[in-house]
Structure formats: C-alpha cells, structure tokens
Amino acid sequence: MMKASAQTHPNIALIKYWGRNPNFPSHLNIPTNDSISMTKETIHSDKSNIELLTHTTIEFSEHYEDDEGFLKTETDLIPFNEFQMKRIKKVVDPLRRLAQTVLKFKMVSENKFPTAAGLASSASAFAALTTATSKALKLDLSQKVLSTFARLGSGSAARSIHGGFVRWHKGDSHETSYAEQICACNEFDIAAVIAVIDRGEKAVSSDVGINYAHSSAFNPVRITESQKQAKKITKAILNDDFPTVGKIAEKSCLYMHSVMMTSEPPLFYWNPGTLSVIKSIINKRKNEETEFYFTVDAGPNVHCFCRMEDLDLAHTMLRDMGIPERNLVRVRQAEQGSKVVEQHLF
C-alpha cells in the first residue's frame, strides 16, 4: 500500500524570512537570509479550542485518475482549488519523480487551527505533506533532505520538519538551502501566549506578499541585519539568555513589518488590536521588569514570549486587556516537528 500519514506542528520565527533570493528560480524559495524559529505546540487549555497541529494523509494508486486533494473541516471535505493543488504539486511532483512513479494521488489534510490566519498553517501543512508523501513513496529521506522538499511548498515549512529551535540556512542551491535543529526542545526555557486578534483569513497571503519585499528601500538593510541577528540569537539561545533572545526577536519582527509597510503595494498585516498588545508588552516590561517580548508574523496575531514560569502572568495580562479566553493560546516548544503516524484520514 502506498499510503501514509504525518502530523506536524507549525513554527514561529524569531528571525524572520521575508523575501526570495532573485538569483534563483522563484519556485525554489531560496531565501535572502537565514531564519530561526521555534516549533510550537499547544499547552492544552480547552478554552481556546485551538490545537497547533496539521494532520495529512496521502495515497498513491492506479485507482486515481487524477491528483486530488481535500481540506477536512469538522463537517466537510472541501476540495482544494486549482491554485492550491498547484502548490501541493510543487512538493509532490519532485518527490514522485524521485520515486520514479507516475501514479496519481489523493490527499486529505486537516488543520486543527484557523487556516491562513497568520498562525503558520502553511508551515505545518507543507511539512506534513512532505513527510507523508516521502513515506508513502517509500523514499528513505533524511530530515535535512525532507526540509529541502518542504521548502518548495512554503519556505517556513522547511523549519517545521524539526522540533525545538531550528535554523534554516539560506544556502545557494536546492540542496544547500535546508533547515537543521540548533537546540533540542527545552534546553532553552521559553514559552508563549498567542493573542489571536483575528481568526479570519488574511487579505494577502505571505506567499504573495513576500514577492513585494524587494520593492522596499529598507529591504537590503533587513537582509544584512538578519544575518547578524541570526548569529547573535543562536548564541543567546544556547546560553539560555532570554532577554537577548527576546530583544533580537522583536527587532527582526519590526524590521520585517517595516519592509512590508514600505513595499509596493504596502502591506499592513497589523490591526489596532495588534498595536495595543505590543504596547502593553513593552509597558509591562518597562514598569514591572517583567520579561515579556513580542513577535508578529504575516497577520495580526501577537506572540507574547515569556519564561515557562511566567505563562500565567502573560495570560492574565492579555486577558485583562479584554482578549477573550478562547483567543489566548498557550504554547511551548514541540519536541518533534513532523512525524509519521498510523492514523489515516481516509
């Protein structure tokens, strides 16, 4: 049977990826800078009803006349549209070529959290797809190689292959642009509360928005600074130096959003709620010497980083700002990014 399933956690970038290197074909998603992330899982608090996990099953068979893919929701199986299928095949086709098969596939994927809302659904989706496809095709690929194929679907997916803290080396070819773990889970004490400001789909997906990065005059500065930040933050992570990690992560986030806001067309992923949470985190730090730091991806939701023991404090601060309990998600590092599982979705 050529059928397999995988489960994968998303990741949150501390050093952001925002822009493809124009010297390489864009479908390779070779980035302009190294990026660093934490693979994250939900700490169960049944109030948010969000579990940061993607589950994907794929089967190759002569019974399928065409490639087909579906998003599983609580009530329906929604076929992926042409654009989404094209993106899925960016990962599946090269793996199918590697396995020397022309068999068609059926795949079903389920996100246990809002899709395309800035919670990194594409990272976990494409890493899960890569892991399941490689297993179904009986390809025995290392995690490093898996990360290169996941990158073809979505750059940040390269990082979700691994657990703990991960560095995606920008590289200068398909083979050398890969992600590797820099620190295993829990060697560095950090957790976060995500303030979900808006669960809706963002207007401009990161896959599209990222193409505008080069039009910002600030982009070259962001690229140069990101390389330096990646080096410094790696050292701070390995030294369990939380304030340094937090400060660098905030800088990287603000550099990325500066590029977004000054690109052509300009991209505003924040909304007023985003800014309120950011300001509260900064004020809390100033007034009470609490070690909270923020980051925001291509969406309005804010990650408030803290030490594991300060999770309750961070949660209370965000709740007291009026963010409903169901929109507060506590996360910690996930030990494994992507793994093969026995349960199939069909």
Selected from 58, 161, 245, 298, the binder of ligand PMV by CB under 6 A is 298
CA distance linking residue 172 with residue 25, whole number of Å: 11
* Pick 6 or 123: Cβ nearer ligand PMV: 123
* Residue nearer to ligand PMV on the CB measure, 13 or 191: 13
- β-strand partners of 296: 302
Q: Does 33 help bind ligand PMV (rule: CB under 6 A)?
A: no
Instruction: Candidates 8, 9, 17, 328: give the one binding ligand PMV (CB under 6 A).
Output: 17
Among 33, 124, 154, 333, binds ligand PMV (CB under 6 A): 154
- Please count the residues of this chain forming the interface with ligand PMV, following the rule CB under 6 A: 15
Q: Looking at 9, 16, 96, 222, which residue binds ligand PMV (CB under 6 A)?
A: 16
Q: Is 122 in the site for ligand PMV (CB under 6 A)?
A: yes
**32 near ligand PMV, rule: CB under 6 A:** no
Q: Binding pattern to ligand PMV, positions 174-213, x when CB under 6 A? A: --------------------------------xx--x---
- Contact range with ligand PMV by CB under 6 A, out of 15-23, 97-105, 218-226, 304-312: 15-23
Site stretch for ligand PMV (CB under 6 A), options 58-66, 152-160, 237-245, 305-313: 152-160
Nearer to ligand PMV, 18 or 242 (CB): 18
Which span sits near ligand PMV by CB under 6 A: 10-18, 41-49, 220-228, 283-291? 10-18
- The separation between CA 300 and the C-alpha centre of its own chain, rounded to angstroms, equals 15
Q: How far apart are CA 184 and CA 164, in angstroms?
A: 5
Which one, 10 or 317, has the nearer CB to ligand PMV?
Answer: 10
* CB closer to ligand PMV out of 32 and 133: 32
63-71, 108-116, 149-157, 196-204 -> range binding ligand PMV (CB under 6 A): 149-157
Residue closer to ligand PMV, measured from CB, 7 or 301: 301
> Which residues form the interface with ligand PMV (CB under 6 A)?
13, 16-18, 35, 122-123, 154-156, 206-207, 210, 297-298
